[in-house]
Amino acid sequence: MAFIKALSYYLPERVLTNEQLVAEFPEWSIEKVAQKVGVNSRHLAAEDETPGDMAVKAAQKLFAEYNISPKDIDFVMLCTQSPDYFLPSTACIIQHKLGIPTSAGAFDYNLGCSGCIYGLAMAKGLIAAGIAHNVLVLTAETYNKYLHPSDKSNRSIFGDGAAACLVSTSGFAEIGNFSLGTDGSGAEKLIVKTGAARCKQPTGLSTVDDEGHTRYDDYLYMDGGGIFNFTLEAVPAMMKDILAKNDIAPENIDLYVFHQANKFMLNTIRKVCVLPKDKFYVNLEETGNTVSSTVLIGLKQCISNQAITAGMNVMISGFGVGLSWGGTMLHFTDTPR
């Protein structure tokens, strides 16, 4: 068995409010942004602040909060789509900065909105195989550095941040069985086309999509309608699979903590899946969509405000860029903190 033993997160100091955003795009209103995406403000990484920097700060908070020694960590994995370098793996640099033993394994993995779920699945597998006992799962993203200044839609949605989760042989939340999926045919629905091996040099090219949004080769592009349709197709089937694989009935689930994409999408998922509003977590107001960190941040916030207590069953899931999706059940065997 594998358990979540500790949770923490870090948000950058710089904050972009709706008031500041609307000042750049006067055709919008503060109320429209808040109503549409459910975000009042979002944190942005500093110019010289990387996902590696943020992941280190999240891990340091976790160590301090739970009185955990870096010497006890025997594996490190970092989920990011904006690594500090093409090589080496940012997780290796983090191992050194945190003072984790050189006997620990470390690697990066490139995933977005489903990233923390995949990290938990891999960590559980490492523990089940006897390869590790204390796996530090880190998620960190700086999507805002990929956004074109004129991209008001995505700038209103995304925030930067990092989260840290210690998966161990004991803890307060037992990790259940997973439902995972991938559909690479939708890769271009959320993509940065240039900068990597396929097209290393910037092109400076842009086109306008069917929704009237400008698609820049050199910046992040999201087909909002396509992602929305994909989510409504993938999530209900994934939820049924999670229930079946964990042999649990819907009425025995106490809380749903899903990827915090945007308020409209979350409310639509809740209605389509007929989920009780009081059991469905929605909270993007001060963070925005932090990509791979949203679920871990959400769990920590629920623990801090005592929305999650011992004995509860919590379904978690992530979905998006890839296209990819994943989910599992958490059974809180002890009082979380």
Q: Which positions ≥6 away from 316 have C-beta within 8 Å?
A: 117, 256, 257, 258, 295, 299, 327, 328, 329, 330
Spatial separation of the C-alpha atoms in residues 81 and 217, rounded to whole Å = 16
Catalytic residues, which ones? 113, 259, 289
Spatial separation of the C-alpha atoms in residues 268 and 23, rounded to whole Å = 29
CA 286 to chain CA centroid, nearest Å: 15
| Pair 325, 190: CB distance under 8 Å | no
Closest CA to 50 of 96, 17, 10: 10
Spatial separation of the C-alpha atoms in residues 17 and 41, rounded to whole Å = 4
How far is the first Cα of the chain from the last one, in angstroms, to the nearest whole number? Answer: 20
| Pair 313, 301: CB distance under 8 Å | no
